[in-house]
Amino acid sequence: MIFVYILHEISWPIECQLENITIDKYCSWNTAYFILSHSPHLQTLVLNDFRIDTFDDDVATESYNKQYDHLTSLSLCIERTITMDDIESVLTVLPRLAHLRLSYMNMADNIHSLFDGDRWENFIQTNLPLLKQFDIDLSYYFSSGHISNAMQSLIESFRTPFWLEIKHWIIQYDFVHQPTNYYREWTHHLYSIPIFADEFDCGLEKRNIYSIRNMPKNNEPIIVDVQKLILDLNQIMTDNKQEQVTFV
């Protein structure tokens, strides 16, 4: 694990032999670009606080014509404003990714571009032909909420043959009400199954107002790959909810 504030203090070799790197603190695309440029053997990169800064625009332009085909697994955790354009600028230079994990949460005023299944499909087919595992956990919050027609039809963009027949990627959308948290009272949550997260909250304070999946539920188990799972057993018993849950 590397802390970014000491990264540039390290006497970095021209060709670093590291194959796996995790950065646990703030990391910009400028820093990630530096790592990729100096680590030709790097296969797995985990950035637990990834951000796009204004000065990263020059880096994106510089790296546009470069390809880092040694990296096969990338994990990004983002809690700052970011766009699909930003994500595409990062992923375009990583054509041999086989595993992509993306976690995002922030406030928003409208439907986020990261929720667009058609755009993801077009980008993956064009730029990430080797991608086999696509893990997403995307949330954005409102202080007031309603289910618009756009949100109800959102899941349709993940029901094309690409998602269902070629990749077999299960995607679920939940519209969640959490009345005890004013700034995050209404949440739009899009995530892949199996579920991955450090923490997954199924507690009493959160209620799904609307929930839909891109493929029919066939009573298959929900595999939860998490460090911490929050459940309210009384609520589950009251609502007579029965889900098969497998912990890994």
Helix, strand, coil fractions of the chain, as percent rounded to 5: 30, 35, 40
pLDDT at 34: 84
For the chain, the average pLDDT equals 78
- Which of 23-37, 139-153, 194-208 is modeled with the greatest confidence? 23-37
User: 71-94, pLDDT tens digit by residue?
Assistant: 999 999 998 888 899 999 999 999
Q: For residue range 188-244, what is the model confidence (pLDDT) as tens digits?
A: 889 999 887 666 665 545 566 678 889 876 655 565 566 665 655 555 444 444 444
CA dist 230 to 14, 95, 103, 197, 213, Å? 46, 37, 19, 12, 22
pLDDT of res. 243: 47
Q: What is the pLDDT of residues 103-133, one digit of tens each?
A: 998 876 556 789 999 999 999 999 999 999 9
User: What is the structure's pLDDT at 26?
Assistant: 87
Structure tokens at 198: 């450090």
Which tops the pLDDT comparison, 59 or 88? 88
Q: For 228, how many CA atoms within 13 A lie in the half-sphere containing its CB?
A: 5
Residue 84's pLDDT is 92
Number of Cβ within a 10 Å radius of residue 1: 9
Please tell me the least confidently modeled range out of 99-103, 179-183, 231-235.
231-235
Q: Is 37 a residue whose pLDDT tops 70?
A: yes
The SS3 assignment for 233 reads helix
Residue of higher predicted confidence among 59 and 39: 39
pLDDT class for 66, splitting at 50, 70, 90? confident
**Global pTM value:** 0.80
Q: Where are the domains of the chain?
A: 4-247
